[in-house]
Structure 1
């Protein structure tokens, strides 16, 4: 079957969440406004995540997986997903399910007018330290990128796949997806989505990842922006049969 939309689910040691991920995504597939598949990207988990993922994929035709030999980080998992899919649209959601798959339909309402639609988490159910560090990091990032986004860390996004495949991602750059789409002259917007507390597993990001790491990544983004190659072909002699 050919799918219009693929949901990437990065996974790193999330064995406690994966059965719920399967259940919630199956519910979403029944109400999705476009034909949708799911791609697990196992980022070198050392718990029982892979065995659970394989069982899920065996019993659901719309689910498949990629397994890394070793842990490479969230940006690598997202990039591998982008490279693997062949659907017109690609998105992702974290396996902790602090955002809801059903909100993909809210983002899909706007994707025809934009190249990237990202969620912005309303009434975040995180700790005070996590919320404040995220706000500070987002403010610093906006000052560097001028992307106008309030919550680039929101793990609920949809991108037109041809744009996603051209993103030259490196470690930490998942926070700069809107800015990287804008470098391609793509249009971006943000839509409020639901947010829920984590109920199983452990968070993979600490204060360094949320605040100091993103500050360093801003300088990497500035280097990337300066060196980024972008062009549009007006005409070609190649004939398409």
Structure 2
């Protein structure tokens, strides 16, 4: 199968009507000057505002843009996975639709990926969230790294580039997007981390409360730790044809 693009960008959308036009403009501004043939796959996660109507308008204006829309809200992990399945490139990038991730970081991340990694993840060194979210994120990262024996600075950053075939092979469950570096490493991925820009949310509201995220994250963490304890791999020495 000949792949049409170098990079597929997957963007989950849930009630982000006021951010989508600017986001697509920023993606185009960041990548059009680059020697990267890309597509953008927006996944409407059952939005109840005008997000779908805006995506239809953008699809008519941008040939690189495709969208799919869920019948009902299924969550961020499901939206990411649907985008992975739709991707037409062997590298897939992920980012949020709220404009807090900066598309201008993508070219440098792509270059780092091409240096021999299977995954490049963003590290929001200067978070632009309210203080309670920053503290909660630091605590969650510390606990997550301790239990999964990881050293990832910012696994919650949605700005990532991954090998498409590998990310399609990881276990799928609600909350899996919080553990993508660990799950990719279980597939044998080489993972690099790099500083990225982080911006305050200007339009719309966050879809996740601090307490809700903490409870769901703790529940998922034990599941991932169980997967690690039961994971196996093998290498074939030889076989006949």
Which runs of no fewer than 5 residues in structure 2 stay unpaired? Answer: none
Q: Indicate how the Cα distance of structure 1 residues 234 and 71 shifts in structure 2: closer, same or farther if over 3 A, else same.
A: farther
Structure 2 partner of 1:189: 192
1:164 counterpart residue number: 167
**What's 2:6 paired with?**
4
Query: Which segments of 5 or more consecutive residues in structure 1 lack a partner in the other structure?
Result: none
1:183 shift after superposition: 0.5
Change in CA separation of 1:212 and 1:12 when aligned onto 2, cut-off 3 Å? same
SS in 2 for 1:110: helix
* Alpha-carbon distance, 1:25 to partner: 1.5
Aligned pairs (5 A) from 1:131-150:
131-150=134-153
Q: TM-score, normalised by structure 1?
A: 0.93
- TM-aligned CA deviation for residue 76 of structure 1: 0.6
Distance verdict in 2 for CA 1:233–1:132, change over 3 Å: same
Verify the 8 A CA contact 2:30 2:107 in the aligned structure 1: no
For 1:81 and 1:227, how far apart are their aligned partners in 2? 28
**Map of 2:97 onto structure 1:** 95
Structure 1 residues 150 and 33: alpha-carbon distance in aligned structure 2, compared to 1, 3 A threshold:
farther
2:85 match: 83
1:46 aligned residue: 48
227-236 or 76-85, which deviates more: 227-236
In 2: Cα distance, 1:46 partner to 1:234 partner:
54
- Name the structure 1 match of 2:209: 206
Q: Is the 8 A contact 1:21 1:95 kept in 2?
A: yes
Q: Could you say what secondary structure the match of 2:195 adopts?
A: strand
